[in-house]
Amino acid sequence: MGTSAGLPAASEPDAVSEPEVRLERRGQLGHIILNRPRAINALTATMVAMIRTALNEWEHDDGVATVLLSGAGERGLCAGGDIVALYRDAVNGERIPPDSGRKSTS
């Protein structure tokens, strides 16, 4: 079970029913749930973009006072970046769009 680049297929949730990142609101809590437990929630470019979008929206939402980041599964919060997925994205020419909401610290 490999990819055309000879890399193993990444463990992904069912694309139809299980998104890689789940976003929930409970009162003033914005909850980001990394949802790739078989890959110890390793981040993909798509996940980073989804998290960035949610944080940018919640930053300007007075109804969100707290943000909680958690990971699905029992093995850990996040294993870091999914190197296989990032490589596959780079080979396919996919990139994370620049963040126009990022504030300069200088």
**Residue 58 — φ and ψ, nearest 5°?**
-70, -25
Any idea which residue has 């490589």 for tokens?
A: 87
Name the pTM for this structure. Answer: 0.70
Provide the CB-side half-sphere exposure for 61 (13 A, CA). Answer: 16
Q: Hey, where are the domains in the chain?
A: 21-91
Which pLDDT does position 16 carry in this prediction?
Answer: 58
Q: Cβ atoms within 10 A of the Cβ of 99, count?
A: 13
* Radius of gyration, CA atoms only, the chain: 15
3-state secondary structure of 18: coil
Which pLDDT does position 83 carry in this prediction?
Answer: 87
Across 1-30, average pLDDT: 69
Asked whether residue 79 carries a pLDDT value surpassing 70, the answer given is yes
The fold adopted by the segment(s) 21-91 is GMP Synthetase; Chain A, domain 3 (3.30.300)
pLDDT in tens, 22-78: 999 999 999 999 999 999 999 998 999 999 999 999 999 999 999 999 999 999 899
